[in-house]
Amino acid sequence: MATRAWIGQGLPPIWRDGEEFFLLGVDEQLYLVRNACPHRGGPLKFGHVDDQDRIVCPMHHNAFPVETLLAQASTIRLSDGPVSAPDAARAPTGLPSREGRPSLLRLVHEDGELKIANLVTLSRAVLILPIVALLLIGQHSAALALYVLAALTDAVDGWIARRSGRASRFGAQLDAAVDNIFSLGILIFLLLALPGLWARQGVALVVLFGAPLIYLAVSWMMRRRLMMFHFWSAKAGAFLLFCLWPLIAMTGFEGLVTVVAAVVGFSRLEQVLFMLRGGEDLNAPHGLAAVPASPPA
């Protein structure tokens, strides 16, 4: 079924009063819409239009009806008569334009300019090896201090991107990729910092680091995309995972591994059960959130 809307992904950035906009066509009318997702400021321009005429943000896959975006005070209507989408402006549904595709150079540069947020994101991955090296030579305190610095970059990079108005699809993908790499790094850090931990907490470690991977596979099989819900339990699990090593270092209580594994495992199970109920709202606070009734056949 043809959609009513299209996104001008093939056009260069459109700036107005210091804010970036993108061209949106709806029912043969043209509009300028702020290139910032209402959720977290993601680049809507590089999203796609689904079969319900919703713009799906590429950062967290939130979907917004075009009517919601058109009702924003910042949206500007450009045309009074019917227009059609020029080939240069209309990109295939669901595919980013060339401007949105990642390349090696864009690890630190986007749109021809150095992007500080990407540098901060990459620093988190780069610091993994120095942390491991410090642990191997017995400098546990220095390794832990460097780890805390690396963990803090996970909060700083997104803030810098949004603050500078340079949030992008590639930046979001880079952040997610580095998060996955760093999460595996946390497993290595724990095993090196706490000898014998695998023998004492092996089952909990399998749940803690295996459950997220299993969930990604299950969500892909169920929805053909990775469903990253922002449940309270998911946020708590991510926070506790990043805090796990410092907390054990301060308290000496290795049972925290089991506690965090229980939170992470519960969160992934909660998300699967929510999808089984038909839930797709990534911003739902928990698995018991209301699910819209399916329209009658």
Residue 69 near residue 55 (C-beta atoms within 8 A) = yes
The fold for domain 5-100 equals Rieske Iron-sulfur Protein (2.102.10)
Q: List, for the chain, all residue ranges whose pLDDT scores fall below the cut of 50.
A: 1, 87-88, 91-103, 295-297
End-to-end CA distance of the chain: 16
Q: Please give the Cα distance from 241 to 21 (Å, whole number).
A: 37
Q: Please give the Cα distance from 179 to 211 (Å, whole number).
A: 15
Q: Please give the Cα distance from 254 to 283 (Å, whole number).
A: 33
Residue 84's pLDDT is 57
The secondary structure of residue 19, as a DSSP letter, is E
Q: Please give the Cα distance from 116 to 109 (Å, whole number).
A: 9
Residue 112's pLDDT is 58
Residue 15's pLDDT is 81
Question: Which residues are paired to 110 by β-bridges?
Answer: 113
Residue 77's pLDDT is 87
- Using one digit for the tens of pLDDT, what is the confidence trace for 74-126? 888 886 555 555 544 554 433 344 444 444 555 666 655 667 888 888 999 99
Q: Please give the Cα distance from 145 to 140 (Å, whole number).
A: 9
Q: What φ, ψ does residue 3 adopt, rounded to 5°?
A: -90, 160
Q: Please give the Cα distance from 143 to 72 (Å, whole number).
A: 48
Cβ within 8 Å of residue 249, ≥6 positions away = 140, 144, 193
Residue 22's pLDDT is 86
Residue 48's pLDDT is 83
Residue 10's pLDDT is 75
**Of the candidates 177, 171, 168, 192, which has an alpha carbon nearest to the alpha carbon of residue 226?**
177
- Using one digit for the tens of pLDDT, what is the confidence trace for 127-140? 999 999 999 999 99
Q: Please give the Cα distance from 23 to 30 (Å, whole number).
A: 7
Residue 148's pLDDT is 96
